[in-house]
Amino acid sequence: MEMAASVDHSAPMEDPDVAAERQRISNTSIDQLANTDAVVLRELSKLYNNTFLAVDRLSVGIPKGERWA
């Protein structure tokens, strides 16, 4: 009889650059971020149908003048 594989429900590892950006956004005032970043998302989450968490507390800033797609 085969046993079901265990599922790891712990938080995923966070890349150092992701952690640094999250800390930058969290620890910098909105006024200061408004001077340096064109777009700021602080702890954005998206929940579908009250059951599926698609985005979990995303924090990111896009500096003024930076091109992105």
Q: Model-level pTM?
A: 0.70
SS3 35: helix
- Please tell me which residue, 69 or 17, carries the higher pLDDT value: 17
Domain boundaries, the chain: 16-63
Bridge partners (DSSP) of residue 60 are: 41
SS3 64: coil
Instruction: Give me the mean pLDDT over the 3-14 stretch.
Output: 60
Over the stretch 9-68, which tens digit does the pLDDT of each residue have? 566 788 999 999 999 999 999 999 999 999 999 999 999 999 999 999 999 999 999 887
Strands of 1-69, DSSP E: 37-48, 52-63
Q: What is d(CA 44, CA 66) in angstroms, rounded to the nearest whole number? A: 21
